[in-house]
Structures are given as C-alpha cells and as structure tokens.
C-alpha cells in the first residue's frame, strides 16, 4: 500500500511575492528546496518586458537538480511569448 497523496505548493505563491529590478538581457531564477519527494504539475510566472526591450520575447520555465549549483535539467516548459501586455 502506498502513502497518501498530498497536494501543496512551494516557492512564491502570491503575485509580486518576489520582485527584482533587471537590466537588458538579464535572466535570473530562484532556488527552492523540497523537503520530500514529489512531482510538479504546474509552473507559473508573472513577468513583463523591462527597459527598452523589443516586443516580443520568449521565456521558458526550468527545474534543475542542485549539486552546489544548477546541475541536471530535470523538467522544462514549452517556450512562451512575452509581449508588452504580459
């Protein structure tokens, strides 16, 4: 018999929970550590074009393992287009 299925969230789970200023062509990510095995069913991000960015751009969500820094890519989303109204 397997353990009970539990659902939950990790990371920032409210809009504008984290906000960083950024310059042209800057990419960044956040590190979140899970305390138990699990699966990811959804990745959400709120983003916009900054500075004099040309519309449109593309973004992708990625999950990496961590071995003293990003190690192996575990999962990723399809590319999404980000426009001025994103």
For residue 76, give its domain range: 54-86
**Would residue 74 count as lying in a domain?**
yes
- Position 85 pLDDT exceeds 70: no
Q: What is the mean pLDDT of residues 7-16?
A: 76
Domain assignment present for residue 37? The answer is no
Higher-pLDDT residue of 38, 5: 38
User: Does 13 score more than 60 pLDDT?
Assistant: yes
C-alpha torsion angle, residues 62, 86, 48, 45 (rounded to 10): -30
pLDDT at position 78 = 92
The answer to the question of residue 30 being in a domain is no
Asked if residue 81 is part of any domain, the answer here is yes
The answer to whether the Cα torsion of 47, 53, 56, 58 is positive or negative is negative
d(CA 47, CA 57): 11
Query: Which run of H or of E encompasses 64?
Result: strand 62-66
Q: Which of 50, 60, 63, 62 is nearest to 81 (CA)?
A: 60
Question: Is residue 1's pLDDT more than 70?
Answer: no
Q: Is residue 33 part of a domain?
A: no
Render pLDDT for 23-79 as a digit per residue (tens, 0 to 9). 666 667 778 887 888 888 888 877 767 666 677 788 888 888 888 777 899 889 999
Q: Are 58 and 35 in contact (CB under 8 A)?
A: no
Tell me the two tokens of residue 76: 């990723």
How many structural domains is the chain composed of? 1
Name the β-bridge partners of 62.
76
Question: Does residue 73 lie within any of the structural domains?
Answer: yes
Q: Specify if 58 maps to a domain.
A: yes
Tell me, yes or no, whether 7 lies in a domain. no
Residue 47 has a pLDDT of: 73
């Amino acid at each position: 018999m397997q353990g009970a299925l539990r659902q939950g969230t990790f990371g920032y789970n409210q809009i504008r929970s984290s906000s960083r200023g950024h310059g042209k062509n800057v990419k960044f990510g956040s590190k979140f550590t899970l305390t138990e095995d699990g699966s990811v069913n959804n990745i959400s991000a709120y983003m916009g074009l900054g500075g004099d960015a040309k519309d449109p751009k593309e973004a992708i969500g990625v999950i990496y393992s961590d071995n003293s820094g990003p190690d192996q890519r575990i999962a990723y989303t399809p590319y999404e287009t980000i426009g001025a109204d994103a």
